Amino acid sequence: STGAVKMQPKAEELKFVTKNDGYVHIHPSSVNYQTRHFESPYLVYHEKVKTSRVFIRDCSMVSVYPLVLLGGGQVHMQLLKGDFVISLDDGWIRFVAASHQVAELVKELRCELDQLLQDKIKNPSMDLCMCPRGSRIIGMIVKLVTTQ
């Protein structure tokens, strides 16, 4: 008369996958060590150490849009089995977009942000929030990230 309830993994059982190291675990000294559930399957980390196994420290969960917009490498889009897929890091990280239009808009927003940051590097005194193009791009990113 009672159903089985899926148990959250114990802290030492929780593991993530990296491109170069395979499975990694959150270090016991990390603030997130006792966190047993993350809303997003993606983490960013500052430090990786290998003792009895590979551990990451100083990690934070990151959701899809910030990862796509601020992650390293080029953003690519392709059609796979009827789904529009946005990929990063030569296809190692992939996301299925809700539609072709969403995929194109996210890719274009990333290109605009990259160009805006290049402009800022060339002209450090440029105020990104005061220039019309910069404020539109930043406003769109804030809206996208806060409403996802």
Low-confidence ranges of the chain (pLDDT < 50): 1
Task: Read off the pTM.
Answer: 0.75
Phi, psi (5° rounding) for residue 61? Answer: -70, 145
User: So what's the pLDDT on residue 5?
Assistant: 65
Q: What is the pLDDT of residue 54?
A: 94
Distances in whole angstroms, Cα of residue 147 to Cα of each of 13, 67, 79, 104, 115: 32, 15, 26, 18, 24
| Number of C-beta neighbours around residue 32 at 10 A | 19
Query: What is the model's pLDDT at position 3?
Result: 61
In whole angstroms, give the CA distance from residue 70 to residue 66. Answer: 6
